[in-house]
Structure 1
């Protein structure tokens, strides 16, 4: 049973790379600060095959951590076709709440678009076959990602760190996908994202940090961590004209529904 103090509504960080070596020196303290801030559940996505055992062991060692496994487009040089078979084995033999992080990244130069598409589409098909949600990375590739998801009716999941248009957000919501919102929304210059968040149906919104990356405004150059998600919650609530408590309750319910997490009391 989760019993945070009333000033810290129960939150779920739906995207945090807690296995990152940047947390090795003080991971226990990071988790303690997260819980003090009301972040009691954390979804930890995988990025390449070599990291899956580390994520499994980390999540097995700490309450409230939930593992995912996938092949991330930024680590294309690490992936091999055989890793798709290995991924299927992990997803069917290890506890997991989603297939991810997967996707397309056309921002970073030198990443073969065709190779990215092969891994991405194979993993989408695998998630559909196994009835698992997907955690999708889409940078400079939102339109192509939307089309790939549309071609697979029945697939469900989240486009994390959403950075697309209002129209793309509407299409994803219509398909039953969630949009993950984190640190970028705290920047005043992120006007398009702020418009999306202000108008997004609350039942399609998830909170995330992408820690240790994507720090909030005012924390540039500082390692991001789950405790800072309270700041993101405050900004989102202000943009929507709602209370932080109501946004916290709705986004936590959304995360529990998508990932099958235990419902907090």
Structure 2
């Protein structure tokens, strides 16, 4: 019924119970999970998980928080891996890529170079992008315009209405997750309620950005709880309440929007069924 368009199921937080987490998501009606890579060292991990769990697909990219260790060889490795993955129906795009101007100590110029190089790969292979936009919405959008990439998702969107409209004008969708569930998150909730429904996709960013019901405090303790892909069903419930939409039409809209953002999902979505572990 639901799709989580951004989940790091390969993260160490799931090492003890990864299969159980995937099964719980299936039980909650989450039939699709997009697994973005963060660096060349986890390319095979997300690919392998997509093969192990029938509801999972994957993207390949280098996260801005991993940018310090990434150079030209990593860009070349990414391009080679993308070329080799084009025939894989579970491969859906380039990500997680972007810019992060929140974490101190990251080289902005190097981040921007790495981001631009990955956008060039997305453009070359005509693939959508999964974008990290933390305190960098304008700069991320500027590179999209410059390099002509026009499809994908601005993940964990937390910008202004004007910034939202600029991403939409570029053909992207906006990802909403756990932050949406906090009553104090007035700006995010206003955007989710007032933007065109076709602008929105759902996500968890698990194991991060846990929703309100898993947190000790509305914001301060938010990230201490482990988030899981099953929680996208709760995020959907909150979105439905904000917009006055029943679950079934909302689920249909979220799948439609997700496929518009990540077109390679279209071929795969037709065979998505309640997820189970695939034996080798």
TM-score range, shorter chain: over 0.9
* Alignment partner, residue 5 of structure 1: none
Counterpart of 1:6 in structure 2 is: none
2:269 is paired with a residue whose SS is coil
- Residues matched between the structures, number: 256
Moved beyond 6 Å, runs of 4+: none
Query: Is 1:43 the equivalent of 2:46?
Result: no
C-alpha separation between the residues in 2 aligned to 1:164 and 1:91?
30
Residues 77-127 of structure 1, C-alpha deviations (whole Å, 9 max, x = no match)? 331221000000010102320100000000000000000000001111110
Query: Structure 2: how far apart are the matches of 1:58 and 1:243?
Result: 32
Q: 1:192-224 CA deviation, whole Å, 9 max, x = no partner?
A: 111111111111211000000000012123210
**Which sections of structure 1, spanning at least 5 residues, go unmatched?**
1-9
| Per-residue deviation, 1:152 | 3.1
Q: Are residues 1:250 and 2:250 paired? A: no
Match of 2:238 among 230, 235, 238: 235
Equivalent residue for 1:113, pick from 105, 108, 112: 108
> 2:172 aligns to what?
177
Render the CA deviation track for 1:14-69: whole Å, top value 9, x for unaligned.
Answer: 00000111111111111111011110111000000111111111212221111111
Does residue 129 in structure 1 map to residue 120 in structure 2?
Answer: no
Q: Distance in 1 between matches of 2:149 and 2:58?
A: 22
* Larger RCO, structure (CA 8 Å, separation 6 or more): 2
Cα RMSD between the aligned structures? 1.3
Scaled by the length of structure 2, the TM-score of the pair is: 0.88
CA distance in 2, matches of 1:192, 1:40: 29
For the 8 Å contact 2:130–2:152, the answer to whether it is kept is: yes
Query: Does the 8 A contact of 1:72 with 1:101 survive in 2?
Result: yes
For structure 2, the 5+ residue unaligned runs are: 216-223, 272-280
Query: Which residue, out of 228, 242, 250, partners 1:225?
Result: 228
Which of 29, 32, 36 is equivalent to 2:23? 32
Give the drift of 1:264: 4.7
